[in-house]
């Protein structure tokens, strides 16, 4: 996968990913091809990242609404084949 594609897929600007590659701090294995293209070595069966479902309400009295909103957002994200991270 090209570095820019990997960056967009993981919510990182391509320029930032390229800088990480040059500095040796990219969190995945990558290499430069003879053509000059930088590619990231990604296994097909490895999840590419996680998303966090975020919801809020305006008062503590709406706590049940918050639980319902989190459930709906989580259901939508998992329906889109996204891996939802469990928050603290």
Residue closest to 41 by CA, chosen among 78, 6, 87, 80? 6
State how far the alpha carbon of 66 is from the alpha carbons of 2, 26, 81, 86, in Å: 39, 36, 23, 16
Give catalytic residues, as residue numbers. 58
CA distance 38 to 50: 23
């Amino acid at each position: 996968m090209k570095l820019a594609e990997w960056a967009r897929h993981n919510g990182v600007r391509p320029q930032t990913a390229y800088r990480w590659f040059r500095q040796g701090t990219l969190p995945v294995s990558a290499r430069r091809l003879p053509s000059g293209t930088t590619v990231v070595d990604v296994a097909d069966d490895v999840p590419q990242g996680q998303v966090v479902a975020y919801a809020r309400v305006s008062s503590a009295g709406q706590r049940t609404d918050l639980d319902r909103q989190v459930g709906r957002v989580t259901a939508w994200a998992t329906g889109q084949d996204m891996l939802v991270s469990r928050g603290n």
